[in-house]
Amino acid sequence: ASIWFMRYLLRNQEVRMSMLHRPNALIVALSIVLVLSIVSCGEDDDAVDYTQVDAIITYKPLIPTTGSNILFTSTYPGVTYKGVRFVHYWMPDSTSDWHIYSDLPGAFGSSFEYSYELPGHYKMRYAVTAGSGTYAYGEVSFYVYEQYTGLFIAPSESFSRAERETQFVVGYSRPKPVNHALRWDFGDGSATEERIADSTITHYYTSPGTYNVQCILLNRDTGEAVDTAHAVANVE
């Protein structure tokens, strides 16, 4: 705005002559230019709030398997921007490098697909930068199963809340014993629980954290452990 106003003064001959004969008019014009310059600088400084915020990462499907794509989506609420360019980075596990996925102006969130060849416990990390520094950072833990594992368990949400019930989904890819039970270790130091439940089960976590959950499928007729499944509960 200040540049536009200066061009207007220089191009308008009548205004120039008026300022030459009236010093006060020249002072007023220069004052206007100064004010517009300050306002413009303020707008640039407010374009992005560089205070680091926590990114929220979710993933689908909730029971990931080897060889299949997992869709990770990140959001960072409360962000204000004015056409600023964000660069999104993803790190699929601790042994890999950062993947630069997108370079989008004014993007509030981004998605990233990745496939794991080996089963196990993984942690996906995410960071987004705007300008000179890291703007948002987040991570999520999860378990990847062999594609044809018999017993599957997973939390019903990527993140759950402390002091609320966390729900776990149970699935089977092979026939299970008719007289069976599930022995649960929820990873928070509470006693193991043996329950007869096929589809869902809930547990109450009292504190935030990342919990490694184990579930054993038992044949109640023989007492044999038929299968074991793992999951990670991210509790905020």
Whether residues 74 and 134 fall in one domain: yes
Residues 231 and 158 reside in one and the same domain: yes
Same domain membership, residue 199 and residue 121 = no
- CATH code for the domain in which residue 209 is found: 2.60.40.10
* Residues 107, 176 share a domain: no
Structure confidence at residue 175 (pLDDT): 79
Together in a domain, 57 and 134: yes
Q: Are residues 15 and 57 in the same domain?
A: no
pLDDT at 10: 46
Claim to verify: residue 40 and residue 57 sit in the same structural domain: no
Whether residues 157 and 125 share a domain: the answer is no
Based on the fold, state whether residues 62 and 7 are members of the same structural domain.
Answer: no
Quote the pLDDT of residue 35: 46
Long-range pairs for 39-44: beta carbons < 8 A, 24 or more residues apart = 39/1, 40/1, 40/2, 43/82
Tell me, what's the pLDDT at 40? 45
- My answer on whether 114 and 154 are in the same domain is no
Number of domains, the chain: 3
Whether residue 97 is found in the same domain as residue 164: no
Same domain, 34 and 6: yes
**Which one of 143, 172, 205 terminates a domain?**
143
User: In 99-232, which ranges are continuous DSSP H helix?
Assistant: none
Out of 115, 143, 171, pick the residue that ends a domain.
Answer: 143
CATH number of the domain to which 110 belongs? 2.60.40.2410
CA quadruple 87, 88, 91, 92: dihedral sign = negative
Structural domain including 24 reads 2-45
pLDDT at 42: 41
What's the N-to-C CA distance of the chain in angstroms?
46
DSSP per residue over 91-137, as a string?
Answer: E-STTSPPEEEEEEET-SEEEEEEE-SS-EEEEEEEEEEETTEEEEE
Tens digit of each residue's pLDDT, the chain (236 residues): 444 444 444 455 554 455 555 555 545 555 554 544 444 444 443 444 456 778 889 999 888 889 899 999 888 776 665 566 778 888 998 777 888 876 555 555 678 889 999 989 999 998 887 765 667 888 999 999 987 778 889 998 888 887 788 999 988 888 777 888 889 999 999 877 787 766 788 899 999 999 999 999 998 888 888 899 999 999 98
